[in-house]
Amino acid sequence: MSHRGLLGFGRLRFPFTFMGVLALAIGLWVVVYLVGHRTLDAGAQELAIGTAVVCFGFAAYVLIRRVMRGPQH
């Protein structure tokens, strides 16, 4: 008997490495946007900086974990 998931996909790995690279790209995009748009109000700048920090943090966690532990963890 095969073990199929709820939707019938079988064994499916969650794409954390892709998500880490995407988070890094989004964080870089936000920083480039902020550098190009210095006239944003303080609230918008703080929100964008917070978004970039969260993206870089997640990307660092995922990508460093991938390098240290390998692709199967």
Placement of tokens 């946007």 in the chain:
33
Closest of 60, 12, 52, 7 to residue 31, by C-alpha: 52
pLDDT at 51: 97
C-alpha separations of 29 from 49, 52, 61 in Å = 11, 9, 19
pLDDT at 12: 58
Tell me the C-alpha distance between 15 and 48, whole Å.
25
Whether 70 and 38 have beta carbons less than 8 Å apart is answered as no
Tell me the two tokens of residue 19.
């998500």
Regions of the chain short of the pLDDT cut 70:
1-13, 72-73
